[in-house]
Amino acid sequence: MYRIISGRWKSKRISAPKNFDVRPTTDFAKEALFSIIENRFRLDFASISVLDLFAGIGSITLEFASRECKDITAVEMNAKHSAFIGMVARELDLDSQINVQRGDVYEYLKKNRNRKTYHLVVADPPFETEIEKYNELISLVLNNNYLGTEGIFILEHQSRTKFDHPNLLDTRKYGNVSFSFFKANEPAMEEMVEEEKKPES
């Protein structure tokens, strides 16, 4: 079970079937995360696009939707979990805001590179993920134009896992859970030159 913290469905409790093997982000950590998004990064939920990777049973996806985010893509490999997200979204009349994609996150990122940029990419891989897979995930997100120029990648992980990356802005710890925040890559010099050449409208 998890709770939607704020927005249209504030305090709504979502109960998944007992046989689902899931670990939703705790209320405490989720509340802290959304406070950082809103207050530190000054993002207006109603005008941003979000890519939620390893979406589980939709704790983060539905939180964004409840806060009026209109463009959310949720990627989840487990068929039952992805179907559950879609079902709850329909029940809460949030399905027009949420695009659920069933598939392996790493394969999804490889297949859809350079197709769409997002203001936020959020990922909550399994806690037993090895550091090499974390590094692969970070590379796939940052090096394939998934983030706009001012975009942020938020990675949830065990607090004992540490990252040393030039794009790392900050890591916030909430008990056994931490969130690491990565900035988008700087635009290549060629892109900056081309942008300057564009005629003013």
Q: For residue 56, give the nearest of 100, 11, 114, 109 by alpha carbon.
A: 100
The pLDDT assigned to 156 comes to: 97
The pLDDT assigned to 55 comes to: 96
Q: How far apart are CA 75 and CA 13, in angstroms?
A: 22
2-196: CATH superfamily: Vaccinia Virus protein VP39 (3.40.50.150)
Ranges of beta strands (E only) in the chain are 2-3, 13-14, 49-53, 71-76, 98-102, 118-123, 147-158, 168-174, 177-183
Under 8 Å between Cβ of 66 and 4: yes
Residues in CB range of 79: below 8 A, 6 or more apart? 102
Angle between helices 79-91 and 59-66 (to 10 degrees): 20
Q: How far apart are CA 25 and CA 139, in angstroms?
A: 23
The pLDDT assigned to 16 comes to: 86
Q: How far apart are CA 100 and CA 125, in angstroms?
A: 17
DSSP 3-state percent helix, strand, coil across the chain (nearest 5): 30, 25, 40
The pLDDT assigned to 136 comes to: 98
Q: What angle do CA 87, 89, 92 make, to 5 degrees?
A: 110
The Cβ of residue 116 has, within 10 Å, a number of other Cβ atoms equal to 13
The pLDDT assigned to 22 comes to: 78
Per-residue pLDDT of the chain (201 residues; tens, 9 = 90+): 899 999 999 999 999 888 887 778 888 999 999 999 999 999 999 999 999 999 999 999 999 999 999 999 999 999 999 999 999 999 999 999 999 999 999 999 999 999 999 999 999 999 999 999 999 999 999 999 999 999 999 999 999 999 999 999 999 999 999 999 999 998 865 454 455 555 654
The pLDDT assigned to 160 comes to: 95
The pLDDT assigned to 201 comes to: 47
How remote is the C-alpha of 199 from its chain's centroid?
35
CA distances to 44, 70, 200 from 97, rounded to whole Å, are 15, 5, 34
The pLDDT assigned to 186 comes to: 87
